[in-house]
Amino acid sequence: MSDNITIAVSKGRIFKDAMPLLAALDIYPTEAPETTRKLILETNRPEVKIIIVRATDVPTYVEYGAADIGIAGKDVLLEYNGNGLYEPLDLKIAQCRMVVAELKNSRNEDRGGRKRIATKYVNIARNYFASQGKQVEIIKLYGSMELAPVLGLADQIVDLVDTGNTLKANGLVEVETITDISSRLIVNKGAMKMKNDLIKPMLEKLTEVVAAK
Ligand code: ATP
Ligand code: PRP
């Protein structure tokens, strides 16, 4: 019998959306990430801990077994180059879509036929444009992608869109949808075997809760 389980979650929107799912598993953190600087949160269940990590680091903690399970956006998983993970369930939280966007009145600078794309999602962008047979130049940014076309740094961006408010506020329009995005439950491969007595019932309950939504 396994005796403990560690869950990796990022603070912000995923933590907020994950709270009702954790509650359905009878897991309630004793503190909230907004009100504590602690990165390991105890819960009402002594055998369950929640660790708070950057969204992009969740797969790393889970792949290496520092956490047994985690919740990560599909965008993060598509960018992540690892293979020590199971991704058994779409939790249907933090839903949005990955798009290509450009200035509303795009100037289409002449760059010898190769568009310049600014994005935090280099792998997703590279794979997408390759699948379209388009040669592009990709510029890696870490945020505020919407600025790049406005200042002439790039012709287009690849970014997440939900309401469309951020694009609109910066004079951009969506031109192509790459894929729908939501957050997934991820499980360390070893933990899936060794801690199956704890993980299996969690998975079954979550599957039920997500299906009922
Ligand atoms: P990091 O801190 O590692 O840079 P981040 O800033 O992207 O990550 P969040 O903004 O908390 O982290 O986003 C977490 C996840 O939520 C993303 O990976 C994505 O799956 C989803 N997401 C991002 N933006 C939106 C949005 N506007 N609406 C809904 N879901 C979103
Ligand atoms: C995300 C994304 C967009 C915005 C889209 O940013 O990178 O900028 O949300 O959402 P909307 O279509 O509803 O406006 P986020 O809020 O996570 O900010 P960050 O990239 O600085 O973390």
Q: Are residues 51 and 148 in the same domain?
A: no
Q: Kindly report, residue by residue over 111-166, the tens digit of the pLDDT.
A: 677 999 999 999 999 999 999 999 999 999 999 999 999 999 999 999 999 999 99
How high is the mean pLDDT of the chain? 95
Q: Are residues 165 and 206 in the same domain?
A: no
Q: Which ligand is nearest to the CA of 174?
A: 2
pLDDT of 109 above 70 = no
Q: Are residues 89 and 114 in the same domain?
A: no
Q: Are residues 187 and 172 in the same domain?
A: no
Q: Which ligand is nearest to the CA of 55?
A: 1
| Kind of pairing between the strands at 48-52 and 96-103 | unpaired
Q: Are residues 175 and 100 in the same domain?
A: yes
From 160, 165, 183, 186, the mutation candidate for ligand 1 (largest count of ligand atoms within 8 A of CB) is 160
Q: Kindly report, residue by residue over 18-43, the tens digit of the pLDDT.
A: 999 999 999 999 999 999 999 999 99
Q: How far is the CA of 157 from the centre of ligand 1 (A)?
A: 16
The number of the ligand 2 atom at minimal distance from the alpha carbon of 162 is 12
The whole model's pTM is what?
Answer: 0.95
State how many domains the chain has: 2
pLDDT value at residue 97: 98
Does residue 160 line the site of ligand 1, with CB under 6 A?
yes
pLDDT value at residue 110: 63
Q: Are residues 173 and 191 in the same domain?
A: no
3-class secondary-structure state, position 59: helix
Which CATH number fits the domain that encloses residue 52? 3.40.190.10
3-class secondary-structure state, position 203: helix
pLDDT of 192 above 80 = yes
Q: Are residues 114 and 79 in the same domain?
A: no
The number of the ligand 1 atom at minimal distance from the alpha carbon of 10 is 11
**Spatial CA neighbour of 67 closest among 46, 92, 84, 90:** 84
Q: Are residues 57 and 77 in the same domain?
A: yes
Q: Are residues 136 and 197 in the same domain?
A: no
Range of 170's domain?
96-181
Q: Are residues 119 and 195 in the same domain?
A: no
User: Who's near 126: CB < 8 A, 6+ residues apart?
Assistant: 138
pLDDT value at residue 160: 98
Spell out where 39-171 has E strands.
40-42, 48-52, 69-73, 85-90, 96-103, 115-119, 136-140, 156-161
Q: Are residues 175 and 191 in the same domain?
A: no
pLDDT value at residue 15: 97
Q: How far is the CA of 197 from the centre of ligand 1 (A)?
A: 31
- Between CA 41 and CA 48 the distance in angstroms is 9
Does residue 54 line the site of ligand 1, with CB under 6 A?
yes
Percent with pLDDT over 90 in the chain: 92
Q: How far is the CA of 194 from the centre of ligand 2 (A)?
A: 38
- Between CA 27 and CA 25 the distance in angstroms is 5
